[in-house]
Structure 1
Amino acid sequence: MSAANVRRARPEDLPRVAALAAEHAAYEKAPPPAPDLAERLGALLFGRAEPRLHCLVAEDADGEVVGYATCSPEVSTWDGCEYLHMDCLFLRDGTRGAGLGARIMDAVADTARGLGLTEVQWQTPVWNEDAIRFYDRLGARAKEKLRYTLPVAADGDA
């Protein structure tokens, strides 16, 4: 995959990133993303002077976007510092195992450095053994935790 490329997402990439996010959700056996995901991502990526979200895309040798990673700065109370949280990393089946994952992780690390951050954190499902082996080969260290979500009703909703 030597002619492959990893770059920052552009507005015209958003429909493809949204489609890949739907593939990612199906892969993780999660509900599909919102139908207007491309527009939502556009607001987070391009709708502010300082983007809330950063998105990198991986292109194959033909220039097709075959993967993405999204990340945003967050705060660790215990460490009293910011870090880059990688929310998603996904490569289409058939593109994994050829070095593109390491290249996109390098780009995520470069994003952290560019923001003045010294650490990247993320999570992966415990059943995703291929991803765990990949992250271990990178030298990442796992922490055992459970992730919770709590829906919060908007004011006025009962």
Structure 2
Amino acid sequence: MIRTATPADIPVIHTLIRELAEYEKALDEVRATKEQLTEALFGERPAAYAHVAEDADGEVVGFALWFLNFSTWRGVHGIYLEDLYVRPEARGGGHGKALLTELARICVARGYERLEWSVLNWNRPAIDFYEALGARPQDEWAVYRLTDEALNALGARGGRP
């Protein structure tokens, strides 16, 4: 079963985020707190959204955390899937596909024209899963990111050339 996350899901979502980071060999990079997640997902002006996958016993075994993006070329919003994770013991049960299906349903219902995400190039099981659903890599694009010192240095310039 897929459902919209509630504030009561924050502890398990936080745990799943840490499990995902451990799988991606980046647990030391996780700084998000439960309080930050609560504010981002359920605060006065939510900036992100989440859905959870439950097994037959009602236990949360996966999640999708996403936010809106915007295509200047198409003139409409889309969904950017920040994280999709299903616990290893629950994989193969259709939870990941169900989470993506729900996000695709939201896109179609709201007139959004894109559902996008990034995947680590070494994560062959995820790549194979996504491609089996019809997703295609955007090989002509490279992801760039500013964080930490580089972000602070550029931001300190305050819009000056």
Question: TM-score w.r.t. structure 1 length?
Answer: 0.85
Question: How far does residue 66 in structure 1 lie from its aligned partner after superposition?
Answer: 1.0
The RMSD of aligned alpha carbons is: 1.9
Shift in Å, 1:35: 5.2
Pick aligned residue for 1:99 from 94, 113, 132: 94
Equivalence map 1:57-136=2 (5 Å): 57-136=52-131
Q: Which is bigger in relative contact order (C-alpha 8 A, separation at least 6)? A: 1
Q: List alignment gaps of at least 5 residues for structure 1.
A: none
Change (3 A) 1:43 1:115: farther
Q: Percent identity?
A: 37
Q: Distance in 2 between matches of 1:62 and 1:68?
A: 16
Match of 2:15 among 19, 27, 36: 19
Moved over 6 A (4+): none
**1:114, distance to aligned residue in structure 2 (A):** 4.2
Separation (CA, whole Å) in 2 of partners of 1:85 and 1:35: 19
Q: Deviations over 1:96-151 (max 9, x none)?
A: 11211111111111232344312201110111111111111111111123322212
**SS of 2:83 mapped into structure 1:** strand
Residue 56 (str. 1) matches residue 56 (str. 2): no
Alpha-carbon spacing, 1:112–1:125, altered in 2? closer, same or farther (3 Å):
same
Q: Deviations over 1:53-94 (max 9, x none)?
A: 110001111111111001111123344432110111000101
Per the normalisation by structure 2, the TM-score is 0.84
Deviation at 1:29, TM superposition (A): 1.2
Equivalent pairs counted in the alignment come to 150
Q: Which has the larger radius of gyration?
A: 2
Q: 1:127 to 1:117 in 2, by over 3 A?
A: same
